[in-house]
A and B are shown apart, each in its own frame.
Chain A
Amino acid sequence: MAAKSIISRPVYGTLSPQPGKHHLFVADAEGALAIAEMAKRAPAGFFDEAEIVFIPGPDGKHVAALEALKPAQFHEAPSFASLLPRLRQTLANAHMGLRLYLSGTEGLIGQAMQVALEAGIDHTSIETEHRGSLARRMQCVHCKGITENVTTQPATCAHCGLLLLVRDHYSRRIAAFQGVCINAEDRSEIPPMEEIFR
């Protein structure tokens, strides 16, 4: 679980079954366990109107557990980027009564929420549960490039190469934490890099 910090930092909950006509789950890696646990509390027939979209982790685990829930649709995707066109279409064609559930890494939750916001879904109506890695998506405030899976503080921007302080300040619209040059005033000051977002 992520530690509580400043107000713009997202707070995640525990997935729980919501009243609705259709249920769309997007999860990666250990996020599957959040769905499996929620299923134990779900009313009978809940997954008859559900679609689960899953990006397995490198270990490829949990696919069978999700299929066992017998959702109306199950789709396995190799990466978030590969999932994007399908997710956009599903949300664009959605009707009132669709509920969205996101579980897994912060990067997955953030990026799926970003697509949902673009489709006009209110972020407060989305169920989220964080599971697994604390690695961050970071936007460099200087060059605007996004660096994925940042685990260190400070971190190097994968685009412009500046050494960035990874702030807790978070933008849902960009689905990223803000990175700001940590030694902008004196480039010869190089603080040690520590692995803190695991």
Chain B
Amino acid sequence: MGITFRKETFRDDFTFKNSPEHIRRFPFPFHEDAYMYAVNIEPHVVGPKGSVLENLIDVDEHYVAEMQDRALVLAEDPLRCQSLPHMTLAGWDLLELLMEQQALGYPEHFTLTRDGDRWRWINRPLGIDDTFTFGDTSTLPYGPMEYITRQSQGDFCILDQRDGNLWMDAGMVTTQADWSLDFDIGMNFFEWHAPVPLAHEKGIFTRALKFLTNIQQGKPARRLNWTMTINPRLDTSPENYHKWGPDRTTVTPENVGEKVHLRVELQSFWRLPRSNGIVFPIRCYLIKMDELVTQPKWARRLHRVIRDLPDELANYKGLTRYRPTLVEWLSKLDDGSPTSPGFGPD
């Protein structure tokens, strides 16, 4: 049996919710009671059944609603999807990767059949059945990157590798944590990370770049990143900051559980076979505080992490305005008892 896709929204009435099974599989990002930057990159290999790592490209109950939200963002602002002229081949690489992985992990929902360059792609949840010629952009309704990323959860950055650096030369970015593809496109690895505090001094980016430029085909890697979002809003772009920013002033002790969301990015890194580029999917998972604290270990640990976060990081992540209210609310769920090692719930 397949996934039951939820009918829900990430804007206006914000009906997004996680089912109890999805709460248990949430990729909680803290393995201890404190947080600081680290080059926390590990091989992206298949994980336990029932976890978000059961398949290397995860499709979940939010798939259809997320794709509808992406279409709304793109209709408003087509600049969220851009590809510099030399990146079309990498777009085909990405189309192949995502079709293969989604068909492999979810055969009841996706089917890919190939007859030489003639490919047929069936996407049942979105009602798509297209036959096209691989490598011939005129046979698809969009460019290859846009076509497949309108059908895949998460943001996607395609990085060109040259001069010992990685260049952000294409992307589909509609669920970002406050950075602008339109502004950053064409920048190298250090340039687009320039605004991140503390990490440059720690040599994080130099080491991360060394690792990423050595990624081999068939051996993807991953890391987790996190922030917080008020209301389950996928589109927290800088473009619309003046529209969603006021949400941060609406947190009260009474509505923390419903309004405040932990936002976790599962970032993975894959070498692309034809273009030698790297694709960097940034998959966003949201969980509201009421859902998260159903796991007592997570409640205790999140309290300690947010309470002890250095101010500079709290500021960069945009938590400053509502942090005291959140910490006070979480403190009532922390009896001070120890937490078990590792990410998972007890």
Interface membership of A9, Cβ < 8 A: yes
Number of A-B contacts (CB under 8 A): 64
- Choice from B184, B187, B242, B249 contacting A181 with Cβ under 8 Å: B242
Residue pair B186, A6 in contact (C-beta under 8 Å): no
Interface membership of A180, Cβ < 8 A: yes
- A6-B195, A9-B194, A167-B195 known; A142 vs B187 contact (CB < 8 Å): no
Inside 8 A of A103's CB, which chain B residues have their CB? none
Q: CB-defined interface of B221-262 with A at 8 Å, one 1/0 digit per residue?
A: 000000000000000001111100110110000000000000
Interface membership of A144, Cβ < 8 A: yes
Among B187, B190, B242: residue with most chain A CB under 10 A: B242
Shortest Cβ distance from B291 into chain A, in angstroms? Answer: 25
Shortest Cβ distance from A99 into chain B, in angstroms? Answer: 19
Shortest Cβ distance from B203 into chain A, in angstroms? Answer: 13
Residue pair B186, A173 in contact (C-beta under 8 Å): yes
Inside 8 A of A9's CB, which chain B residues have their CB? 194
Q: How far is the CA of A185 from the CA of B321 in the complex (A)?
A: 9
Q: CB-defined interface of A112-150 with B at 8 Å, one 1/0 digit per residue?
A: 000000000000000000000000000101101000000
Q: How far is the CA of A93 from the CA of B215 in the complex (A)?
A: 39
- A141-B180, A142-B239, A171-B183 known; A7 vs B194 contact (CB < 8 Å): yes
Shortest Cβ distance from A13 into chain B, in angstroms? Answer: 18
Residue pair B79, A8 in contact (C-beta under 8 Å): no
The residue on B at minimum CB distance from A5 is B194
Shortest Cβ distance from A172 into chain B, in angstroms? Answer: 7
Q: CB-defined interface of A156-179 with B at 8 Å, one 1/0 digit per residue?
A: 000000100001110111100010
Residue pair B241, A180 in contact (C-beta under 8 Å): yes
Q: How far is the CA of A178 from the CA of B79 in the complex (A)?
A: 16
Inside 8 A of A59's CB, which chain B residues have their CB? none
Q: How far is the CA of A181 from the CA of B239 in the complex (A)?
A: 9
Inside 8 A of B190's CB, which chain A residues have their CB? 7-8
Interface membership of B185, Cβ < 8 A: yes
Interface membership of B61, Cβ < 8 A: no
Interface membership of A184, Cβ < 8 A: yes
Inside 8 A of B185's CB, which chain A residues have their CB? 173
Residue pair B191, A180 in contact (C-beta under 8 Å): no
- Choice from B183, B193, B246, B248 contacting A178 with Cβ under 8 Å: B183
Interface membership of A194, Cβ < 8 A: no
Residue pair A186, B249 in contact (C-beta under 8 Å): yes
The residue on B at minimum CB distance from A122 is B163
Q: CB-defined interface of B171-192 with A at 8 Å, one 1/0 digit per residue?
A: 0000000001011111100111
Residue pair A171, B186 in contact (C-beta under 8 Å): yes
Shortest Cβ distance from A181 into chain B, in angstroms? Answer: 4
Inside 8 A of A171's CB, which chain B residues have their CB? 183-184, 186-187
Inside 8 A of A184's CB, which chain B residues have their CB? 241-242, 245-246
Inside 8 A of B191's CB, which chain A residues have their CB? 7-8
Shortest Cβ distance from B112 into chain A, in angstroms? Answer: 35
The residue on B at minimum CB distance from A164 is B242
The residue on B at minimum CB distance from A180 is B238
Interface membership of B200, Cβ < 8 A: yes
Residue pair A186, B246 in contact (C-beta under 8 Å): yes
Residue pair B200, A7 in contact (C-beta under 8 Å): yes
Inside 8 A of A187's CB, which chain B residues have their CB? 246
Inside 8 A of B200's CB, which chain A residues have their CB? 7
Residue pair B183, A169 in contact (C-beta under 8 Å): yes
- A8-B194, A144-B79 known; A185 vs B248 contact (CB < 8 Å): yes
The residue on A at minimum CB distance from B180 is A141
Residue pair B180, A178 in contact (C-beta under 8 Å): yes
Inside 8 A of A168's CB, which chain B residues have their CB? 194-195
A-B contact pairs, 30 of them (CB 8 A): A7-B190, A7-B191, A7-B193, A7-B194, A7-B200, A8-B192, A8-B194, A139-B183, A141-B239, A142-B240, A142-B241, A162-B242, A168-B194, A168-B195, A169-B183, A169-B194, A169-B195, A171-B184, A173-B186, A173-B187, A178-B180, A178-B238, A181-B242, A184-B241, A184-B245, A185-B245, A185-B246, A185-B249, A186-B246, A187-B246
- A-B contact sample (15 more), CB < 8 A, given A8-B191, A184-B242, A185-B321: A6-B195, A141-B183, A141-B239, A142-B241, A142-B242, A167-B195, A173-B186, A180-B241, A181-B241, A184-B241, A184-B245, A184-B246, A185-B245, A185-B246, A186-B246
Closest 5 CB pairs of A and B: A184-B245, A8-B194, A185-B245, A6-B194, A8-B191
